[in-house]
Structure 1
């Protein structure tokens, strides 16, 4: 089935998700990570965060059962690596199991989420939902092209579903 492209309202739902350079917040700054266990796989240039993973940067938050951070090679250096050193730039983040990504502008959930720094995209799969204010879009695969401000929602074996509340201008009301 060809992907269903949802323009207009859906694009407005997701245009603010995460910037390039493997950060989860457009604000940048330090990234705070909590998990039940952390494993450093130095030869593979990966860090595994296992159990109740909670990553925060600025006003953005990523929660999942497990997150794998994959690092690109360092530019011309043989310095320390691992938890006490630096692997270099984060190349991708793979979040699995009850994945939630929340910013002040949107909330997204799915079974799996992959952030690719080079393409500046977030792809969430499984039973995905994207919420902005009281507007909701659901499907099987959600692709957020951050720099292009383009969102594609694919229904997979089903159809995409949306609920748009035109009376909710500027987000939720109290």
Structure 2
């Protein structure tokens, strides 16, 4: 909650106008469309592999990269296609614990995120905060379509718009 308050303070201090509230909002995400066919690179302090379930769990300072997109979290569970007869191709990432997603000049923070690579979709949930330059947008759920560079924020969306008054 301190993180959200601090972000709101920074937005207001940057000279932005009064907040607007909504139930849902469409947003642009990522300066360029993202290519989910690029290799996924992961670094962490620890790795645990379960070949029976076709899952790998990365823990501690986890950093995931794919092209220009970066994701960091305390833990990331990776599911591979085919389960126990895994093909080695990553199907889904489930990140928890202080998740941060950065794409270009935009960043989003949440409690957890699920990235389904085949559909190029990331769903971030739990006190989501999206910053785009000097603007901030918050809600409870952000669904990002990486291949289209779009997103939808849901759950009592709050934002602050910059005034066009020449300030």
Same fold flag (TM > 0.5): yes
Number of residue pairs the alignment of both structures matches: 142
Which whole-Å deviations, capped at 9, do the CAs of 1:3-26 have from their partners, x for residues lacking one?
A: 93313xxx23456574333xxxxx
Question: What's the counterpart of residue 59 of structure 2?
Answer: 50
Distance 2:70 2:151 in 1: 20
Deviation at 1:59, TM superposition (A): 3.3
Question: What's the counterpart of residue 104 of structure 2?
Answer: 104
Deviation at 1:111, TM superposition (A): 0.2
Question: What's the counterpart of residue 121 of structure 2?
Answer: 121
Unmatched segments (≥5 aa) in structure 2 = 1-21
Q: Which has the higher contact order (CA 8 A, sep 6+)?
A: 2
Which of the two has greater strand per residue?
2
Deviation at 1:110, TM superposition (A): 0.1
Matches within 5 A, 1:79-94: 87-94=87-94
- Contact 2:24–2:157, Cα closer than 8 Å, also in 1: no
Which whole-Å deviations, capped at 9, do the CAs of 1:44-94 have from their partners, x for residues lacking one?
A: 1111101111223443321100001111129xxx7xx7xxxxx43211110
Unmatched segments (≥5 aa) in structure 1 = 22-27, 82-86, 168-174
Alpha carbons of structure 1 residues 17 and 39: separation in structure 2 relative to 1, 3 Å: farther
- Contact 1:97–1:111, Cα closer than 8 Å, also in 2: yes
Cα RMSD, aligned residues only: 2.5
TM superposition score normalised by structure 1: 0.70
Find the partner of 1:60 among 49, 55, 69.
69
